[in-house]
Amino acid sequence: MGHQVVLNEPSSACREVMRELAASFLDTVQLDAIGADLATQIHAEIDEVPPELRPETVLSCRANVNLIIQMIHDQMEASSAVAPVEATHYAREFARAGLPIEALMRAYRIGHAELSQVWLERLHVAKARREVLAEAVTVSSAWMFAYVDAVSAGIAESYMHERERWVRSAAALRADEVRAIIDGRQVDEPRASQRLRYELGRTHVAVIVAGEEAEDADATIGLYERVAHEVQRAIGGGDALCVPLGLRTLVAWVSFNDGQAPDLTALTKVRGAEALAAGVRLAVGEPAPGLAGFRRTYEDAQLAQRVARLRERRPGYVTRYEDAVLIGLLSQDGDTARRFVTGELGALVDDSDSVRRVSATLKVFLEEGSSNVRAARRLGVHENTIAYRVKRAEALLGRPVDDRRLELRAALLLVDTLRP
């Protein structure tokens, strides 16, 4: 299974070229970018890996890349590598998500291939004699294969241990049943209700509680459950079904009887000490009835969570579907949305404080029906200030604000979320 490559001891010139190249990688911004690129490729090539796992994919890729580059720089043997903590956590996430170990190992092969390509491209333009560069290519390739072999055993062990523990637990049975409902595989409402011990015929509100993982995963989920029950009490719900869907994510469905309406305006009360202490952000779907509603309100909460991540909401923040849906729809294709924003706003996408102030004023001006008076009242400034900033906005746009008015409003709504 491993790649057994026998090489002569690398020359000192080869070692020095590899050390210098590794040093050029040891920059936080570069390592973050490479980790994100590897994660993007993994999610593009492996359909089984859900989008919700992307933050963990990025962390694992980033940690592995950092370790590889640091070990090459320090001229350490690849066989001595031990999987980073973030990578073992990622293996556990795979197990809890019910993903096959083959997908995890394939993720490593893809990451290895992508990083090797970046490394070799840099190596080919390094300043050294041709024979030294040729030797460095061979040594680097063997070293990276040996690294993957060294960490794979520990990664597989973490996965299997977590999978065995998870499969044995009652939580796993609930999670499997919930996934079957979400995927549309389970359509027998009475049977699913019996298995979950939760009445699916009622109206549901889904709440995603997500945050950072503590050292004790079980304690983390316990804390998240307490936050979920705080939401349940705040909105006046009946039963709550809490299901961990990862090491740092818990989904709760809160049920309501016929004629009982959830008070979602009370969610502001949940921004309390416990949610902040847990470091969690909450995403909440809209009320929906029955088995289909169970699925739909979860999809609502997922959209709200995605928008909250784009906006980098602070811990304790609650994002509702109704507040996020428009941005969620407009930003569904991130690359297209960014091109749209840049194309519509031109120089108004600049990240300086003065331009941000102008774009924020223009947004309010348009929301207030192009009224200087109402915009000034809402922002607490003089009408002349509004008029000046609107003229400044037109100069930056290169056109009157009445041109492509709908597109302009949509771009202004997106700009702070997707600012290039």
DSSP output for 255-284: EE-TT----GGGGGGG-SHHHHHHT-EEEE
| 288, containing H or E segment | strand 288-289
- What pLDDT score was predicted for residue 5? 42
Domain with CATH 1.10.10.2840 in the chain: 334-418
Q: Which is it for strands 281-284 and 318-320: parallel, antiparallel or unpaired? A: parallel
What is the location of CATH 3.30.70.270 in the chain?
170-330
Q: Which fold has domain 12-168?
A: Globin-like (1.10.490)
pLDDT band, residue 273 (cuts 50/70/90): low
Using DSSP, state whether 316 is helix, strand or coil: coil
> pTM of the full predicted structure?
0.64
Q: What is the pLDDT of residues 327-368, one digit of tens each?
A: 999 988 888 988 999 999 988 988 888 999 999 999 999 999
Q: What is the pLDDT averaged over residues 225-249?
A: 85
Local confidence band at 374 (pLDDT 50, 70, 90 cut-offs): very high
Contact (CB, 8 A) for 28 and 50? no
CATH of 334-418, one of 2.40.40.20, 3.30.470.10, 1.10.10.2840, 2.40.110.10: 1.10.10.2840
pLDDT at 3: 45
CATH code of 170-330, in short, is 3.30.70.270
The string of DSSP letters for 225-257 reads HHHHHHHHHHTT-S-EEEEE-STTEEEEEEEE-
pLDDT tens readout for residues 148-173: 999 998 999 999 998 888 777 777 78
CB atoms within 10 A of CB 190: 11
* Digit-coded pLDDT (tens) for 298-325: 999 999 999 988 888 777 788 999 999 9
C-alpha torsion sign, points 11, 14, 16, 18: negative
Segments of the chain assigned to CATH 1.10.490: 12-168
% the chain with pLDDT above 70: 93
